[in-house]
Amino acid sequence: MCTAELAIGQPCTSLIDECEAPAYCLIDPGTGVSMCAPGLPGNGQPCPNGYCADETDFCALATMTCVRRSPVGGSCGPTAACVSWASCDATTMTCVADVAGGGACSASAACISGLACVSGICATARDYPACP
């Protein structure tokens, strides 16, 4: 169901997709009250709710700080996430590029975002209706 996004300062219940961009739902740990706050934190900034403004960053849970994602070929694991077009190979703990449409795959996680592994080939996943 589509609903109007909330403005900064309004109460909210969800961490993402409820507040007007670039605002996000910030939970005050002292009071437990949530309100739409202006913008997500950037690289090197604290991320108390686990989200960062830039897709090239992730919130490192050990430090609750926004950190740059590892590129293809870089290290990954509990303290280092891969760029959005790569997955962490659990055996080598290295970021491996996701498979493009038409490429061979063995699991949906191996295909680039928006594609699914269908009969061993990365293919377009089912389309979802867009909000009006």
| pLDDT of the chain, 132 residues: tens digit per residue | 567 888 988 998 876 678 887 787 887 777 888 888 888 888 999 888 788 888 889 999 888 999 999 999 999 988 889 998 898 998 999 999 999 988 998 865 688 888 888 888 888 855 334 555
Q: What pLDDT is stored for residue 70 in this prediction? A: 95
Q: What pLDDT is stored for residue 128 in this prediction? A: 39
Q: What pLDDT is stored for residue 1 in this prediction? A: 55
Alpha-carbon distance of 52 to 66, in angstroms, equals 6
Picking from 124, 113, 53, 52, the residue whose alpha carbon sits closest to that of residue 84 is 113
Q: What pLDDT is stored for residue 54 in this prediction? A: 87
Q: Is the dihedral of CA 44, 47, 50, 56 positive or negative?
A: negative
pTM for this one? Answer: 0.59
